[in-house]
């Protein structure tokens, strides 16, 4: 199993376990992840989820080697709709970030309602390295300072300490305290009236800033503003362990 689950009374731990590939989001891992999220969503006994990873990475995001073999960029298609990725859960999720959170791994942490990170954790939006437009909006929609949001969009890594300083991370702890702190946060939420917990999570999600439609439309156009073959070249270069040969425009 590439995704392990544990149930501790009302708390479900979802653990990505593909350390040899830095928990990259390949077809098999994504499929098992969706199954875990659907179980969490559908179980009336489960009230809080904790998402974490095994090894030195939380999640490396897109499996670039698998994408190069497949011949198409991005995450693979999964037949079942992912309630977490599509932000359809009205139950809280705590991201316990144990290491590198890159690209789609950063987004998994970003989608969480609360984040606790180990001192070794690093956050990176890797899209600028592999697409024609960096993931420009995720820092903005988390209300980060514009300079920090721009750093992230350009693919600069953000240490856990810096992420905590700018308000992206709620708690910064040792690796040994990562899950215990996540469970303490879960216990606090479970002490709230059930309706208060669900309603507050629901409203907090909707209070995140939204990208204006005209900027989203501009972003869609810019995603094809350049040599589209560079998108797959970045993945081939990663898979072949060489420097990419970009055409640019």
**For the purposes of burial, counting CB atoms within 10 Å of the CB of 76, is it exposed (0-12), middle (13-18) or buried (19 or more)?**
middle
43-98, pLDDT tens digit by residue?
999 999 999 999 999 999 989 888 888 888 878 888 889 999 999 999 999 999 99
Beta bridge partners of 49: 12, 93
Residue 125: CB atoms within 10 A of its CB come to 30
pLDDT at 159: 98
Q: List the domains of the chain with CATH numbers.
A: 3-206 (3.90.226.10)
156-171, pLDDT tens digit by residue?
999 999 999 999 999 9
d(CA 9, CA 179): 15
DSSP assignment letter at 154: T
Q: Is the pTM of this model over 0.85?
A: yes
166-224, pLDDT tens digit by residue?
999 999 999 999 999 999 999 999 999 999 999 999 999 988 888 888 988 998 888 88
pLDDT at residue 33 greater than cutoff 90: yes
pLDDT at residue 23 greater than cutoff 90: yes
pLDDT at 91: 96
Averaged pLDDT score across all residues of the chain: 93
């Amino acid at each position: 199993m590439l995704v392990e689950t544990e149930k501790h009374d009302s708390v479900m731990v979802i653990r990505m376990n593909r350390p040899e590939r830095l928990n990259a989001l390949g077809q098999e891992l994504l499929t098992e992840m969706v199954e875990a999220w659907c179980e969490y969503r559908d179980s009336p006994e489960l009230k809080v989820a904790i998402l974490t990873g095994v090894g030195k990475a939380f999640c490396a995001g897109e499996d670039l080697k698998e994408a190069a073999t497949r011949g198409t960029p991005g995450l693979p298609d999964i037949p079942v709709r992912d309630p977490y990725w599509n932000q359809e859960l009205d139950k809280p999720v705590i991201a316990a970030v144990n290491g590198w959170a890159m690209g789609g791994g950063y987004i998994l942490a970003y989608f969480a309602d609360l984040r606790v990170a180990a001192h070794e954790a690093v956050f990176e939006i890797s899209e600028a390295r592999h697409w024609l437009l960096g993931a420009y909006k995720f820092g903005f929609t988390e209300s980060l300072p514009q300079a920090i949001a721009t750093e992230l969009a350009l693919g600069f890594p953000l240490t856990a300490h810096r992420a905590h300083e700018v308000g992206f991370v709620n708690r910064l702890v040792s690796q040994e305290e990562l899950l215990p702190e996540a469970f303490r946060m879960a216990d606090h939420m479970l002490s709230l009236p059930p309706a208060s917990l669900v309603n507050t999570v629901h409203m907090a999600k909707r209070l995140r800033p939204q990208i204006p439609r005209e900027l989203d439309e501009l972003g869609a156009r810019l995603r094809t503003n350049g040599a589209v073959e560079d998108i797959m070249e970045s993945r081939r270069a990663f898979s072949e362990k060489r420097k990419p040969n970009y055409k640019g425009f």
